Amino acid sequence: MEKIFDVMGCEDAFKTTLAVYKFESNALAWWKAYKQAKGGD
């Protein structure tokens, strides 16, 4: 992620926002796949 931040020229505060968004997105994708594998919605 640091390379992305460097290319985008992100300020530290914005780095945190982007990182949280990315990790939340990954967690949501994992949770949906987990629920589907377990026979959930």
Tokens representing 31? Answer: 């949770």
Q: How do the domains of the chain map onto residue ranges?
A: 2-37
CA dist 41 and 12 (Å) reads 38
pLDDT band of 11, cuts 50, 70, 90: very high
Average pLDDT score over residue span 16-36: 92
**Quick one: pLDDT at residue 41?**
63
Amino acid letter, 34: Y
pLDDT of residue 28 exceeding 90: yes
pLDDT at 7 over 70: yes
By the 8 A CB rule, do 22 and 15 touch?
A: no
Global confidence as pTM: 0.59
For the chain, percent helix, then strand, then coil, each to nearest 5?
Answer: 80, 0, 20
pLDDT category of residue 34 using cuts at 50, 70 and 90? very high
